[in-house]
Amino acid sequence: MAEKKHYLIKVWGTPIKKDKKLDKLIETVSDGFDLLQEKIIRCYENNIQNLYVPKGLRATYEEVKAPKEDTKKAQSS
Tens of pLDDT, residue by residue over 51-75, are: 888 888 889 999 999 888 766 665 6
50 assigned to some structural domain = yes
Element holding 3 (H helix, E strand): none
Number of structural domains (the chain) is 1
Residue range 6-65, pLDDT digits in tens: 999 999 888 766 555 555 545 555 567 888 889 999 999 888 888 888 888 889 999 999
Strand (E) positions, 14-49? 29-30, 33-43
Distances (CA, A) of 24 to 2, 11, 16, 60: 43, 20, 15, 23
Distances (CA, A) of 77 to 9, 32, 34, 70: 28, 43, 37, 12
33 assigned to some structural domain = yes
30 assigned to some structural domain = yes
75 assigned to some structural domain = no
72 assigned to some structural domain = no
73 assigned to some structural domain = no
Domain range enclosing 26:
5-67
> The whole model's pTM is what?
0.64
